[in-house]
């Protein structure tokens, strides 16, 4: 995927997803959400990819949802076409089969911070600021800012951003656990590549399973994680092979309970 406002570039075991609408500080609109969903399809379909990096083009990581994209929507359109659709896309990013590293090359505000929040690891450049300013517009964070971010960062930190409108510098964010590392301006993508190489050197099956288990332990989509792990386990059994063979040969299955 090379055109549009979301790019995917695969280099060996690493996929780099770039939100590329720099003239609007990478503010998200419906088309970009659709492209992010397509980017997930591309990453998931490439068996060679073991880790992904998410970053922005230009001065910002993402300024969040484009107000012009949703400001004129009816309440029904806003709730369904914007908020719920955004939820589905962000959930896809959060549950990618591979670890996801966010390279915060610029400010991550509102939906931009929610976007960064889907990642497993966040590396921020020293000049950036992050926050959830939505209540200043009479709005609330709508793409899991009050849900996933609470589970990942803690309720009190989210309260300070949402209720008090506090914004944090990169170093403050690191101290609070909002980001995992701070690097010099211009260095986030390279630092993410270095960390990605570290991740990619580890067992891909173990990474995928561990990511599911950690998410489950953190209260994120427990049912999906349990079903995915159970299905993977069942798919490796001799019983499944026998069941499929029996179906194809139109005969009763002879299960032996072999794992």
57, 125, 134, 208: the active-site residue: 134
Give CB contacts under 8 A, 24+ apart, made by 137-141. 137/67, 141/110, 141/111, 141/114
Catalytic residue among 114, 125, 208, 220, which? 114
CA 37 – CA 16 distance, rounded (Å): 14
Q: Which helix (H) or strand (E) holds 108?
A: strand 107-109
Sheet holding 51-56, edge to edge: 6-11, 14-19, 51-56, 100-104, 121-125, 181-183
Contact 30, 6 (CB under 8 A): no
Task: At 31, list the tokens.
Answer: 């088309």
Catalytic residue list contains 114: yes
Active-site residue list: 114, 134
């Amino acid at each position: 995927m090379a055109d549009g406002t979301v790019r995917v570039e695969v280099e060996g075991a690493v996929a780099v997803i770039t939100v590329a609408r720099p003239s609007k500080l990478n503010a998200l609109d419906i088309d970009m959400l659709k492209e992010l969903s397509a980017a997930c399809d591309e990453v998931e379909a490439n068996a060679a990819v073991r880790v992904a990096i998410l970053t922005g083009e230009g001065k910002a990581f993402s300024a969040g949802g484009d107000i012009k994209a949703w400001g004129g929507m009816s309440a029904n359109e806003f709730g369904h076409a914007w908020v719920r659709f955004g939820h589905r896309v962000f959930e896809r990013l959060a549950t990618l089969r591979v670890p996801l590293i966010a390279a915060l090359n610029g400010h991550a505000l509102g939906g931009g911070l929610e976007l960064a929040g889907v990642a497993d690891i966040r590396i921020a450049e020293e000049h950036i600021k992050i926050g959830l300013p939505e209540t200043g517009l009479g709005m609330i964070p709508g793409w899991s800012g009050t849900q996933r971010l609470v589970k990942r960062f803690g309720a009190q930190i989210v309260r300070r951003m949402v209720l008090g409108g506090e914004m944090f510098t990169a170093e403050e964010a690191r101290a609070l656990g909002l980001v995992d590392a701070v690097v010099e301006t211009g260095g986030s993508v390279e630092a993410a590549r270095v960390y990605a190489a570290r991740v990619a050197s580890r067992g891909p099956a173990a990474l995928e399973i561990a990511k599911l288990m950690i998410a489950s332990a953190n209260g994120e989509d427990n049912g999906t994680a349990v079903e995915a792990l159970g299905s993977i386990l069942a798919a490796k059994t001799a019983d499944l092979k026998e069941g499929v063979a029996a179906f194809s040969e139109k005969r009763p299955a002879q299960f032996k309970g072999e794992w």
